[in-house]
Structure 1
Amino acid sequence: MRARLLAAAATALTLLLAGCSGDGEDTERRVTLRFHSLAWQKESVEANRELVAEWNAAHPDIRVEYVQGSWDSVHDQLLTSFEGGEAPDIIHDASDDLADFAYGGRLADLRGLLPERLTSDIPRQSWETVTFGAGVYGVPFLQEPRVLIANKKILDSSGVRVPTALQPWTWAEFRQVTKELARTMGEGKYGVAWPLKEPVSVTLNLGLSAGGRLFHRGADGKVTIEFTDDDAVVPGIIHDQVNTDRSASRTTLGAGGSDTLPGFFGGKYAMVPLGFSYRQQIVQQAPKGFEWTVLPAPVGSGGQAQGVSPQTLSVAEDSRHKREAAQFIAFMLRPANMVRLAKGDWMLPTGTRALADPALRREKDGWAAGAALARGLRSAPAQSVRGYPEWKDKVATPALQEYYSGAIGEAELRTRLVKDGSLVLARYQR
C-alpha cells in the first residue's frame, strides 16, 4: 500500500511539474497586444492584417490582436478608451491628434524603445510631428502631400505652362492660370474646384509655401496667433478665385474631395486640389479614356514647404508591455513593410529607404510626382498646439467658410482667427 501511495504521489508530482513547464507556462508567459488600426481602404486593411499575421507566426509568445477602428471621431473614441482604462496597446492615429494625449500623459514616450535602424531612417522633420515637449509619442510612417489633379486634355489644349516639381506655379501664376482655363473652357466651367468642407488644414498646410505660420511659440512655451501678410496669401487667392475671378466653383466650397470627382470627370473643373491618396479613387472611378495628371501645389516665398500630419503608431502609457509593443511597431515599419503600407493607402512613406523603392517612383498614377514633393513636407503649423481641435471646430472652420464664400472680408477673418482664437487657446495654456 505504501509503495502504491508513493508511486501515486510521484506520478502526481510529475504531472504538476509537467503542467508548470508545458502549456500552462507558455500561456502565462504569452503577451497579448491589441492593435487599434484605422486602415480603411481594402488594400490597406489587407496589408495591415497580413503584417499582423506574419508577426504572430514569427512571435508565438507576443501575440497581436487586430482591432478595426475608424477615422470617424477617433479623438473621442480614444479619449473614452483612455478614461475607461481600456486603451489599446498600439494606437494608429494622425500626428495632429496626439498633442492633448501626449501632454495629458496618455501616450508612452518612445525614446529608448525604438531601434536605431528606424529612428535614423525617418527624417528629422517627420519626427518633429510627433515630438511634444521633450518626448516622442508616436512613429510617423505615412504622409500625404496635397497636389493638383488636372484634366490633361484641358491643360494641354489651353496652352498654359505646365508646372513641374522643379518649376512649380507661383500662387499668383496659379490664379492667372485658373482665370485663363475658365475663360477657354466656357460658361459654367471652372479652372479649379476647391473642396473645402474641412478648410482649416488645407489653408494652414498650404500656407507654409507662402511663408505663413499663424501659430508662434514663445520662449515660455506659450502659443500666440498672428495673422500676417504671409498667412493671408493662400486664403486670399482662394477667396479671389471664387468671388472676384469666378474661376473657382462656389458650390464645391462645402464639399468633400470625393464630391468633386464627377464634375472633374465630366470636364466641369480643369483641376482639383486633393490629397495624394485620392489617386486611387480616380483610377477606380475615371471613365475609360479619361486622361489625368498630378501637378505640384503652387509655391510662394516659403518654396515647396507644405504642412502634413502623418499617420502614426503610438503606445499607450497604460500598456503593461511597452517594449513588446515598440518591437511590433518596428516590425511593421521595416522598409519593405512600409512600402506595402504606403501602396495600400496610396500615400508616401516617411522612411527614406522605403521612399526610394522603385514601386513608389514610377510615373504611372502620379507616384513619381508625389515622391518629388517629399523633401518639402514639414510639420503642420498646428501640430503641437494644445486646444487646436476646439479652435478648429469653433473658430477657424466657420470663419474660413464664411470668408471663402464672400460673407466676410479679410479684416473680419483676421479678427476672428486671432482674437476669438486666442481666447480658446488661453484655456489650454494656464
Structure 2
Amino acid sequence: MNQLSATDVWTVVAAALVLLMTPGLAFFYGGMTRVTAALNMMMMSFVSIGLVGVVWVLWGSSMSAEPGWVPGIVGSPWRDFGLGESSASGDLLAAGFSGTFAIITVALVSGAIADRTKFGSWCVFVPVWITFVYAPLAFMVWTDGGLFAADGWIGKALGETIDFAGGLVVHVNAGVAGLVLCLVLGVRRGFGKDADHRPHNLPFVMLGAALLWFGWFGFNAGAAADAAEAGLIWINTLVCPAAGMLGWLLVERLRDGHPTSLGSASGIVAGLVAITPACANVDPGWSIVLGLVSGAACCLAVGLKYRFGYDDSLDVVGLHLVAGVIGTVALGFIATDDNGRAGLFYGGGVGLLVAQVVATILTAVFTAVVTFVIAIAVKKTIGFRVTPEVEERGIDAVSHAESAYAFLSGASAYPGDRDRAAVAEHRVSDGEQGKHTAS
C-alpha cells in the first residue's frame, strides 16, 4: 500500500479549502440580492455542488484530463467514465481537486442572473455547461496536448499559455458566460430605474468574501511544486487582494466621497481574481501593483452595465471578467522567468504577451458561442426566466416556499406561512413559465 505523502495531504486540504469557497460564494451572492431572492441565490451555488460533483465523477474529469475525443480540444468522456480507471490505479486526488474548481466556476456564473432565473432551468444549464464549456476549456489550458499547452496547436506556434490556477479556465470563462446569460435573460424589473436592488445583508457579503479569501489559498497554492513556490503563491494571495481592496476603496473615496463595506469585499475579490493566473509567476511587489490596478479598474467597470444596458446582477462581468483579463494579460509584462519564458519587463520580449492575449481572446469567443447556444436551447424549450409575477413576488416564496428571515409580526412568524394559497397560485409548471418568459 502506498504511503500518504505530504503532497497528498496538502492536496486533500487544498481541495477542501476550494470546496468551502462555494458556500462562501453563496453568502457573498446571497447577501447582495434582495431579501425575497436570497435563498434562491444561495441555492444556485449549493445545487452546483450536487450537480457538478456527480457530473465530474461520471464524465467531467475524464473529459478534462484524458485524451482521445477531439484532439487539442477535449478528452474522451468514456476513457475514465465514473473514474473507474483512476480508482483501479488509486489516483483519485487529482480528479477530486479539479472537481472543486469546476464547481466554483459555474457557481460564479449564477451571480449575473440573480433575481430572475428559474431554479429548474439552472439545474439543467449547470451539467450541460460543465460538459460542453468548462471541461473542454480545462483540457485546452491545463492538459498535455491541449490547445494552449506547450505541445498543443497554439502552444507550438506561440508558446505555452500561463494560467496557473484559472484566470482563463475559471474567471474569464465565468465572466463571459455570465455576460451571455444576462443578455439572453434580459434585465430585471426596474433595472436602472427606481427599483431597489441594493444588497439586503452586507455582513453576509463580508463573511462570504472572508470565506472566499480563506479558501483561495488552497485554490492558488494547491498545485504548488515545492515549498519555495508555495511560499510565493501564499504571499501573492495575501497581498494582491489586500491591495485590490485598497484600490477599490480609494476610487470610491475619490469618486463618491466615502468607502463602503461592499467595496472592500468586492476589492478583495478583484485582487483574488487578478492574482489567480499569475500567483506562481510574479514577484510580491508586482502583486501589489496588480491588486491596486485590478481593484481600481473593477470599481470603475461595475458601473458600465448601466451605461450599456446589460443587467449583470451581482457584477460577475465587472469583477471576474475584467480582473481575469487583467491578471492573464499582465503576465505578458511582469512574469518572472518560467522555463525560459519571461514577461516584457523581464527581457522576455513580446512572445508571452502575444500568447496570453491570443489565449484570452480565444477563450472568450469559445465560451461566448457555446454558452449562447446552450442558453438559447434552454430558453426556447423549458424557459430560463421566471414570470414577471414571480419576480415581483419573490423567487424564494414561489420556487422554494421559504423565506430567508422570520419576521415576528402579524399572524405568522414566517412569511411563507401567511399565504400558502397565494404561493400555490403563483407556482406554475416549467412549461407554463416558459410560455410567459419575460423578454
Q: TM-score range by the shorter chain?
A: under 0.3
Max radius of gyration: which structure? 1
TM-score (structure 2 length as normaliser): 0.23
Structure whose residues are more often helix by fraction: 2
Higher relative contact order (CA 8 A, sep 6+): 1
